[in-house]
Each structure stands twice: as structure tokens, then as C-alpha cells.
Amino acid sequence: MKIKTLTVSKTPSLHINNIPGDLRLTGWEQSDIKAKTNGKELELVEKDGKLTLSCDNDLILSVPKAAQINIKKIKGDASLRNLSGSLELKQVNGDLALRNIGEAKLGEIGGDLVLRHGKGDFQLGQAHGDASIRDLMGNLQAGSFDGDFHLREIQGSLNAKTGGDAILFLTPIEETEYTLNASGDILLRLPQDTDAELTLSAGGDVSLNLPNINEDEEPSTLILGSASAKMTLSAGGDLLVTTQSDEWESLADFDIGLPFIGADLPGVPADLADQISKKVEAATRKAMLKTGKAGRKARKAGRQARKEAKKVNFFAHFSDGDGHIKPASEDERLLILKMLQEKKITAEEAEKLLAALG
């Protein structure tokens, strides 16, 4: 294991060419960059106001929240959270989880993409897996999602394509445009008092479950209220527009287990934090597999198999030789409760993790 710490400004610019493993990056209030890898090589250098970092394995980073991050390639999975500066990722081979970030520009994502609470514009080239985006304050522009696309609430415009199904929970904003092209089905859920002009087309059926609209009608253009927002939806399969929510609530989101949940915890020995991080990650992924992905479509089986193989490696590291997870120690349980107290995980997540850890 290698650890390096460097004192920097509140708004440093960090450049990384390649991360051979997984990445966990967290913004903090300190004017330091702390880097840790389980590999043998770690370099963190500042020259002429430019920070560069290189490593040979998984990487854990803590940086000032307003740092500007530029990463060319991440070979594994990545989790980035609590950042207000600009973020640019050109390539992530695995899954990508983002929480509480500012403006972001992404290139190619090899796996699934999850974004929660984006505070700026979000631009994406292509994601080869599924995508779930919730609470985006800026505009969303996506070249393509190969899998399914789930979107819940956006304060800016939407321009995206998806090769699978799309589930949208939106509150249209005045003078804002929303454009989506899906190869599969589209489900759009709107509030009852929506003001929007909808242009709809589908290879299958167009169904409307809206107040004062005849369900037998299938108009290509639909005027709701003052029609101040403009929405253009094109589905290769069926298209449903509804104001009902309860029956669709379970379809509105999915999530992926975040790598390295443990993070840097003051007062907790580094070795213990690493052990809990990996153990909690394995338990989280197991819980998410049971609760969130059990009903995923059969055509995702190939990608799921790849993730299963990865989980096996995590469990093997903490098993007793017969494939059983070792019981959690009291320190491990206290660490999970500490994460709950600091609001790094929810009460439901903590309950699942404690149960999964035994």
C-alpha cells in the first residue's frame, strides 16, 4: 500500500492519465489531496500549478470539493461524490456512480451509470449499460445509452437517445425543450397540472392516461395547459403518457453498489477502513442484486454475469474458505453506524449492510 498527501489550493486542477483499477474519489473541506493505492506505485506531483497523479492499481482519493478533475481512463469501476468543480472523464470501462457533483462532461462508460444530485450541466458521449439519473439542476445531453434509461426530475433541457426502454418522471419547465428517442418503450409520467406541448410517435401503441383526454385518442401532437414546454418523444415500441405514479414507482429508479463506501474516516485505522470498505461493498452489491436487479430483463444476463464474477472475487477475499462471509466484528458494526450518523448511507442501507454482514 502507498499513501501520499499534498497541500494544495482550494481549487486545484488534477490530471490523471490512467487508473488501472477502481477509483473512489471524495471531495472534502481540507486544502489537501490525499491519495492511497493498494498497489506498489503512486506518484502525486505539482509542477507549474498543474497536479498530476499516477498509480498502478485501485485508487482512493480525497480532494478539495472545488477541485477541477480531468481523468482520461479508468479501467475498473468508479465512484465520485461531493464535488463542486468541473469534472471530465473520457473513459470508464466499468460502472460509474456519481453523487453531489457539479458540471460534468463524460466520454464513454463501459457499464452502468448512476447520477444523483447534479448541480450543473451533464454531457455524455455513450454509456453501454443502463443509466439512472435523478435530480439534475442543469441540462442533460447524451449521445446514447445502450441499455435502459431512467430519469427523475431535471431542471434543464433533455436531449438523449437510448437503445432500450425509457422511464421518465418529469415536471416540465416553461420554455424548456425535452427530446428523447428510444428504440424500446417509453413511459412518461407527468404532474396533473402540466403545461407542455407533446409531439409523440411510436412503432407500437401510443397510450394516454391523462385528465380530460380520451384514452382511445392517439394524437401525434398533444396540448396540455399553456403548452409552454416542448416535448418530443419517439419510441420504437410502445409509448405511454400518464399522470399516475403509484403503479410505476418501482420502475422509476435503479442503483448500483458504490465501490469503496468506507472512505477516509477520521480516527479509524487505515487497514480496518479498507477491510470494511471492501466488505460493505460486497454486501451492498449483494443486497442491490436481490432488491434492485432481480427483475431486470433476460437480455441483460451477459452483463450481469460479468458483475457476478466480480462480486465473487470480493466475497472470496472475506470468506472462510467455504464461501461464507466472515461475521462482522464490533468495530465493523460501529463503523457502519458511524457512516449512518454522518449521512453517508441511509438507515435502510445500514440495516441491509448489518444484516448482510451477519
197-201, 298-302, 319-323: which is most confident:
197-201
Given a cut of 70, whether residue 90 has pLDDT beyond it is yes
Tell how strand 131-136 and strand 104-109 pair up: unpaired
Alpha-carbon torsion (106, 298, 239, 224), positive or negative: negative
> What's residue 50's pLDDT?
85
The burial of 333, by beta-carbon neighbours within 10 Å (0-12 exposed, 13-18 middle, 19 or more buried), is given as middle
Task: Give me the helices (H) in 207-322, please.
Answer: 270-291, 301-317
Task: Say which range, 39-48, 49-58, 195-204, 247-256, has the weakest mean pLDDT.
Answer: 247-256
Q: Which residue has the cell 460509474?
A: 96
DSSP 307: H
pLDDT at site 161: 96
Crossing angle of helices 330-341 and 270-291, in 10° steps, is: 70
Confidence at 15, pLDDT banded by 50, 70, 90: very high
Residues whose CB is less than 8 angstroms from the CB of residue 301 and which lie 6 or more positions away in sequence, other chains included = none
- Close Cβ partners of 240 (under 8 Å, ≥ 6 residues apart): 185, 186, 187, 188, 206, 207, 208, 209
Which residue, chain included where needed, has cell 453517508?
A: 344
Residue with cell string 486544502: 31
> In which band, very low, low, confident or very high, does the pLDDT at 259 lie, cut at 50, 70 and 90?
very low
